[in-house]
Amino acid sequence: MPELPEVEIVKQSLDKKIKLKKIQRVVVRNRNLRFKITSEFEKELLKKVIKKISRFSKYLIINFKDNTFCIIHLGMTGTIHLIEKNKKKEYTNTSFYQSQILPKKHNHIEIHFNEFKIIYNDPRRFGFFKLVKNRNELFKIFKNFGPEPFSKKFNLQYIRKYFKGKNKNIKNFLIDQKFVSGIGNIYASEILYLCKIKPFKKGKILSIEECKKIIYFSKYVLKKSIQKGGSSIRDFKNILGYMGGFQKEFKVYQRENLKCYSKNCKRLIKKKYISNRSTFFCSACQK
């Protein structure tokens, strides 16, 4: 599943291309996504002008000039492809995961503009499109989400208060969207390695210094991944032909039985499952 950095790359790609454009046609080929596409979807989007594309957590938000919105979640396998009329491009994917070119199957939604169209592809159909009537409704949808790592609200006071009295381990806290929004399995392992904190450690027993490290390295890892264009787990490229480069920076993720990068550490990276999610760590460096 794409995490915050990968969704941010999609957001940036779309904002450059469809900002201030008017929707000319909408085609729904399969309404059975995670939430069924309504029969009014095409009509409600037609002729809307896009003000900008924004993002919260792992969600894309199309902001329209009439102050309505469309939330897009990519689920496990969703991708957005950009197809230009009368111009064949080698790469159509707006990000760096799944297929770099438009697959022949599972193209569920097409949104047409004058000179190009965007196509939503999703083999497993866990993603969704949701139309939102106003900003108050948009706020209600995200009201139970925790702050993003970049938010000023994600601070020491917030973390210490949230951890108090809870038995959950720190790895599960980091991937819990009610605690902090946007971090997933890949980046949680990377953050905890840099913090030198074992993923099994209970959040409530973390020291003040460890909590400060969680704040700092959450920002650091996600910012660095965005700068590197996200993580291309499989060497795919985006519409500009560039490949996400953060996978080259992985310290622990997918490095099971490989030597730890820390100086003077001779241990191998271990892999264990926490709540059925793969977790990578160094048993010597992480305490």
CA 235 to chain centre: 18
| CA pair distance 195, 202, nearest whole angstrom | 14
Q: Tokens 């111009």 correspond to what residue?
A: 87
Q: Is 174 in contact with 183 (CB distance < 8 Å)?
A: yes
CA 148 to chain centre: 12
What's the half-sphere exposure (Cβ side, CA atoms, 13 Å) at 88? 1
Confidence check: pLDDT of 234 > 50: no
pLDDT at 91: 82
- Least confident range from 17-31, 93-107, 137-151: namely 93-107
Q: Which amino acid is present at 161? A: K
Give the 3-state secondary structure of residue 60.
Answer: strand
Give 161's pLDDT tier (boundaries 50, 70, 90): very high
CA 96 to chain centre: 11
Confidence check: pLDDT of 134 > 80: yes
Give the 3-state secondary structure of residue 155.
Answer: coil
Average pLDDT, the chain: 91
Token pair of 40 as six digits:
């009014």
H-helix segments, the chain = 4-18, 41-45, 135-141, 156-163, 170-174, 185-195, 208-227
pLDDT at 128: 97
Give the 3-state secondary structure of residue 214.
Answer: helix
| CA pair distance 114, 60, nearest whole angstrom | 22
What is the pLDDT averaged over residues 133-160?
A: 97
pLDDT at 90: 73
Give 94's pLDDT tier (boundaries 50, 70, 90): confident
CA 107 to chain centre: 21
**187, containing H or E segment:** helix 185-195
Q: Which domains does the chain have, with CATH numbers?
A: 4-141 (3.20.190.10), 156-281 (1.10.8.50)
What's the half-sphere exposure (Cβ side, CA atoms, 13 Å) at 202? 6
**Residues annotated as catalytic (active site), given as ranges:** 2-3, 58, 277
Least Cα distance to 199 among 229, 222, 173 occurs for 173
Token pair of 234 as six digits:
């499989």
Least Cα distance to 90 among 76, 108, 102 occurs for 102
| CA pair distance 269, 100, nearest whole angstrom | 30
Angle between helices 208-227 and 185-195 (to 10 degrees): 130
Q: Which residues pair with 184 in a beta bridge?
A: none
Q: Which amino acid is present at 22? A: K
| CA pair distance 118, 18, nearest whole angstrom | 9
Least Cα distance to 203 among 172, 157, 175 occurs for 172
**192, containing H or E segment:** helix 185-195
